[in-house]
Amino acid sequence: MSTPHEVRSRGSSTLPLATLFLGTFVLGSAELLPVGVINVIAADLRVSIAATGALVTAYAIGVAAGGPLLTALTIRMNRRTVLAAALLLCALGNLAPVLIADHTLFVVARGVTGALGGLFVAVAFIVGTSIVPPERVGRAISAVFGGFAVSGALGVPLGTLIGQELGWRGAFVAVVALTVVALIATLALIPSVAGAGGGARDQARHAFAPRVLALLALQALGFASLYAALTYIVPFLQHVTGVSGALISAFLLAYGAASAAGSIAGGRFAAGDAARTLTVGTVAVAISLLTLYLAGAIAFLVVLALLAWGLFAMGMVPSLQYRVVSLAGPGGALASSLPASAANVGIAAGSAAGGAAIAGFTPSAPVLTGLVIAVIAIPVAWATGFLQPPVTTGDGLSPDSMPSPS
């Protein structure tokens, strides 16, 4: 088994990080794929749109609940083995509903693949930070999360296009094929990284410390703010900005490109000063949403607001991951799975809040709701900046070998 220092001495980390990027790109595309073909799935399986929406909910629940559980159960296993097993089982989970046309099985499979996706992400962060020198840890985190960001900007639209041309089964077969490619690349290019030295109980004691929970609360607030507005941004663009058709896609593409760029560039700031990055980013998100709300009828300003919103909202994610793992100290291996859970809790809460707002008020109400949540997050971000990692000697996977996050 390799220690992190041994792994870091093996030369270029470019191909392993590219492999982790590919894995998260595939999983991110699979997570949101039903959104683009929801009508097709509902018609084919003869269920309602609302029932089909359970496919998205089941995946989110799997990530939030199953991801940390599987991470704890595999805490001592070799990390490359865990990554490969997660991808193999994800491929089977996405193939099952293609072969067996049953809605209940589909929902169950989505929950299982969500849990496996959460496991993959947690372990990918650990592997990514183990194969680079300390000064490049932030960029490694960006590479892992960047796959998700690019999947939202590119993978989901392509999956939707495939689904429209070849049917939803064709889209899922494409995901399975890409998952197999990622599996082969993982076995060939990811170095062996030892599991955590401590057991799940020792990990949990540090991973669920109050200082870590504070950062997770900030992450949940951040994603609640984002999805309160983003879930209902199309009605806003239609009725407030006055755009329609292909122009809406152009506006969404601008946001998607900015969010992808932010998630990748954010790693540089995470390694430099993660705590300050979170405070500045939260303020910038609030300003972006305020601009969107006040200048929603001016298309040019809306584009600028969407660009800034995507850039700063996603640019904070590497710093959030970095801070959570750093503050967990020796519990970093388990803590690496928790930001995804907090994000999914925030997504669910934000979408619900935005839905309640648009149902009772106007198309601009979800943006205002997101703004209010962002303003609440500002003092939380500022306060968490004073939190410090525990003074302790970690096992091989503790972020004690990382540069100070603040």
Digits of tens for pLDDT over the chain (406 positions)? 344 444 544 457 889 999 999 999 999 888 888 877 777 888 888 888 767 878 877 888 888 889 888 988 888 899 999 999 999 999 999 999 899 888 999 999 999 999 999 999 889 988 988 888 877 877 788 788 888 878 877 776 787 778 878 888 999 999 999 999 999 999 999 998 887 666 667 778 888 889 999 999 999 999 999 988 887 888 888 889 998 877 887 888 888 888 888 887 887 777 668 889 999 999 999 999 999 999 989 999 999 999 999 999 988 988 888 898 888 888 877 888 788 888 888 887 888 888 888 877 788 998 999 999 999 999 999 999 998 888 754 444 444 334 333 3
pTM, rounded to two decimals: 0.76
Q: Answer yes or no: are the C-beta atoms of 213 and 338 closer than 8 Å.
A: no
Identify the structural domains of the chain with CATH numbers, from first to last. 1-195 (1.20.1250.20), 201-406 (1.20.1250.20)
Q: Could you tell me which of 286, 295, 271, 254 has the C-alpha nearest to residue 374?
A: 286
Provide the pLDDT for residue 392.
59
Return the residue matching tokens 């004690």: 400
Tell me the C-alpha to C-alpha distance, in Å, between residue 88 and each of 26, 85, 286.
12, 5, 41
Task: Determine phi and psi for 198, rounding to 5 degrees.
Answer: -85, 160
Q: Could you tell me which of 137, 149, 127, 142 has the C-alpha nearest to residue 16?
A: 127
